[in-house]
Structure 1
Amino acid sequence: MSSTIIENQAEEEITIDLSHNELRMQILKLTEQFYEKKWVKKDFVPGIDYIPVSGKTFDAEDLLHLVDSSLDFWLTAGRFAGRFEKEFAQAMDCKYSLLTNSGSSANLLALTALTSETLGERRLKPGDEVITVAAGFPTTVNPILQNQLIPVFLDVDIPTYNIDTTQLEAAISPRTKAIMVAHTLGNPFDLSTVKRIADKYQLWLIEDTCDAVGAEYAGKKVGTFGDLATVSFYPAHHITMGEGGAVLTSNAKLKKIVESFRDWGRDCWCDPGKDNTCGKRFSWNLGDLPSGYDHKYTYSHIGYNLKVSDMQAAIGVSQLKKLQGFISKRRENYQALREGLAELQDMLILPKETPNSEPSPFGFPITLRSESPLTRNQLVQYLEQNFIGTRLLFAGNLLRQPAYKNIPHRIVGQLTNTDTIMERTFWLGVHPGISDEMLNYMVEKLYEAYEKRRPS
């Protein structure tokens, strides 16, 4: 008898003897055993094992949530998505959290929501201006261009790497309608000044919080100051779903608009698989549609489909339980690098927190001083050759990137520090997977690169 037949017979016998729930428990128990076998923890070997600059940190519980969700075969948003949105909103001190398929999509949805005709005179229209920075990740700026708006670029500060607010008010013109900037590498920008000016001129404020989950400014969570905020759950970030993101807001009207743009542009807000949540599915009179046209197929915006699967959300529910521990470890690693590299400050500019803030570090940025005998590329290559991962500060100066050569834009002041970042800045990892042994090796190799004795 073939092994396949034997296996099939065994499966049939199990199915007869056990209920679905009992089978599920067996599968989950085996999943936990699989995790222990598959991802055995190993000791770090300096100079042999690569230290990634970022990466997912997960445990058996995360894998169990993923498998548990997959057994439901509810492939779109379901029970885990709804639970995560509620719990994550609470964790971020916001009223609403709307899951989407990436942090980049979250940025697109947040900015695009402000173009909705339902916002009346405050809606963004083609040709309106949005203040931002060129030193950052492209998808903070891309939605501005994708909505036919004009980015207005300000320089950034070194060593906070955040928007230089000294010329913020001077950057405002009659066409300026919004500010959209990121908390760079988990370090909050000067929210006091930005919020004051945004309120004074009635500008929308979008906080790109993709790198800064859990960071605080003046004792409040970042993401709560703006009209909208965005988060990413890519593996490099504070918690992960593999892919995924969220839009945060405490404004009920903006929540409904974002949800519409995310879900094909529809006017209906029913969850997948649900009907008639509003109680008048066939009683609406909207646009030029026939009276009572099915609300599930009524569209108030030209939108997208940017939802997540419930399997992604299931991982998020599990990861969220560990968020505070992840943040604490990131802060410890960040501080260890700061203290360990203190004697190299004649060659390296170490990062500085924005006053009145408590960062939630995404990375540890370093800028080489002009006195450094090494170039940024030489130092980065040396570290990589010694199996230490590095990254540049994303696009450097976005306006020098090929895709942005001919974009419509306006610059206020000089982008001096932005160019410095492009030429002399990189960052090291501080994610929870980096151990004390790894940190010690990273510091040791930086001293070695400059041929300096490390203080004992």
Structure 2
Amino acid sequence: MTIPLSSPDITQSEIEAVTAVLRTSRLSLGPQMEAFEDVLGEYVGVPHAIAVSSGTAGLHLCIKALGIGEGDEVIVPSFTFIAAANAIRYERAQPVFVDIDAESLNMSPSCIEQVITPKTRAILVVHTFGRPAEMAAIMDIASRHHLLVIEDACEAIGATYQGRKAGSFGDAAVFAFYPNKQITTGEGGMVVTRQPELAMHIRALRNQGRYDSVDWLQHAEVGYNYRLSEINCALGLAQLKRIEPILQQRERVAREYQKALANISGLILPATDIPDIRISWFVYVVRLDDSFTEKDRDSIVATLTGVGIGCGRYFAPIHLQPSYAAWRNIASLPVTEAQASRTIALPFFNRITEDEIAQVRDTLRNALLQIQNK
């Protein structure tokens, strides 16, 4: 791609941090991991943080450690990355898909109450595209119905809702650091929680079911190899030291896009200024208005990629995926399906230039005009 969809922001300080680890004899479960956990927990405002091999692994460990299993139901949006629902199914629990709000693209609190049953154990909240969900309403629902809350904050590090960081509301939360995220560890994630016993359990599960207080070859329960290496943690720690400038830069890019695309007919742009909310810009997603079809959207995506401009369908609804065929006819999600059919994620990364944004704008405008003039 001439202009990629995403690109990690790696500086010399990150390179030096990684190479310093390679000069030591400790490449796993060492001081870099401990420091990364401490700094991330302090940043979010939560006392316990556990580094794991991916955001998906973190979600799985939350489901497992909270005792959610076969016969239980977990409410989750379909408009999100498939890992959120997969983690529920790993433990043979049932994802119950809920519709989204057409403006925020986050799960709709009013829809949550409609699907609660005696089998419901938890709400898995996703902060979509780095915009916090309506946590006051969701936490109220959870409290009244005695439900657990897991925050999928994989796209939302640094986002705030009513002055609190995303990831600080639920029983547990998960962040992810894949290369397309705001900060990266290459591969990796982090679970955070206020509950010390839950944190201890998740630490054991990520390391083959081994608790810190026992012998290395003593395993209290079936666990997993969900550890994150010292190399990854060193990279993450160095990135985390730059988190505020990174978030500010990404916000600047989002505002540059807003200016560039403001006068293009047929586009719905994401909100940038929302009372009591700070967006952590993970991606920049535009929507076509309702005069366009899904076929039109796919044609525009093909035009952009055909000239080397990376873009994506963020997100294809989970309940319409082949691996979720059993849910296709039981999930009534009209808003999800309508909005997902018209979304386009445009190239978005820290160091994208004004000239590249202008190239995206011109190509997108021309593609729209071709369809409108047919």
Query: Structure 1 length normalisation: TM-score?
Result: 0.77
Residues 1:102 and 2:54 aligned together: yes
Deviations 1:16-72 (A, max 9, x none): xxxxxxxxxxxxxxxxxxxxxxxxxxxxxxxxx711111211111111111110111
Counterpart of 2:3? 51
The code of the aligned residue for 1:265 comes to G
Counterpart of 1:343? 263
Deviations 1:226-251 (A, max 9, x none): 11110111111111111111101111
SS in 1 for 2:326: coil
Shift of 1:437: 2.3
SS in 1 for 2:23: helix
Shift of 1:212: 0.7
CA distance in 1 between counterparts of 2:269 and 2:78 reads: 21
Q: Is the 8 A contact 2:320 2:328 kept in 1?
A: no
Residues 1:381 and 2:302 aligned together: yes
Q: How does 1:76-155 map to 2 (within 5 A)?
A: 76-115=28-67, 124-155=68-99
Counterpart of 1:434? 352
Counterpart of 1:176? 120
Counterpart of 1:167? 111
Counterpart of 1:61? 13
CA distance in 2 between counterparts of 1:161 and 1:355 reads: 16
Counterpart of 1:290? none
Q: Is the 8 A contact 2:311 2:344 kept in 1?
A: yes
Residues 1:248 and 2:166 aligned together: no
Shift of 1:197: 0.6
Q: How does 1:192-271 map to 2 (within 5 A)?
A: 192-266=136-210, 268-269=211-212
Residues 1:443 and 2:361 aligned together: yes
Shift of 1:438: 1.8
Deviations 1:245-275 (A, max 9, x none): 1101111111011111111112x22xxxxxx
From the superposition, tell whether residues 153 and 425 of structure 1 become closer, same or farther in structure 2 (CA, over 3 Å).
same
Counterpart of 1:367? 287
Q: Is the 8 A contact 2:319 2:328 kept in 1?
A: no
Counterpart of 1:328? 248
Q: Is the 8 A contact 1:107 1:140 kept in 2?
A: yes
Counterpart of 1:10? none
The code of the aligned residue for 1:205 comes to V
SS in 2 for 1:343: coil
Residues 1:400 and 2:320 aligned together: yes
CA distance in 1 between counterparts of 2:159 and 2:82 reads: 22
Q: Is the 8 A contact 2:292 2:342 kept in 1?
A: no
Shift of 1:446: 2.2
The code of the aligned residue for 1:212 comes to A
SS in 1 for 2:231: helix
From the superposition, tell whether residues 243 and 168 of structure 1 become closer, same or farther in structure 2 (CA, over 3 Å).
same
CA distance in 2 between counterparts of 1:366 and 1:324 reads: 25
Q: How does 1:292-331 map to 2 (within 5 A)?
A: 295-331=215-251
CA distance in 1 between counterparts of 2:132 and 2:220 reads: 35
The code of the aligned residue for 1:309 comes to S
Shift of 1:340: 2.1
The code of the aligned residue for 1:348 comes to L
The code of the aligned residue for 1:381 comes to A
Query: Structure 2 length normalisation: TM-score?
Result: 0.93
Query: Sequence identity, in percent?
Result: 29
Aligned length: 368
Deviations 1:378-433 (A, max 9, x none): 11122222322101113x1212211111369963xx31122123422121133202
Shift of 1:298: 4.0
CA distance in 2 between counterparts of 1:157 and 1:386 reads: 33
Residues 1:156 and 2:103 aligned together: no
CA distance in 2 between counterparts of 1:137 and 1:450 reads: 27
CA distance in 1 between counterparts of 2:192 and 2:51 reads: 9
Shift of 1:363: 0.8
Deviations 1:351-371 (A, max 9, x none): 236653111011111221222
Counterpart of 1:189? 133
CA distance in 2 between counterparts of 1:300 and 1:52 reads: 46
> What is the aligned-residue RMSD (CA, Å)?
2.0
CA distance in 1 between counterparts of 2:283 and 2:216 reads: 44
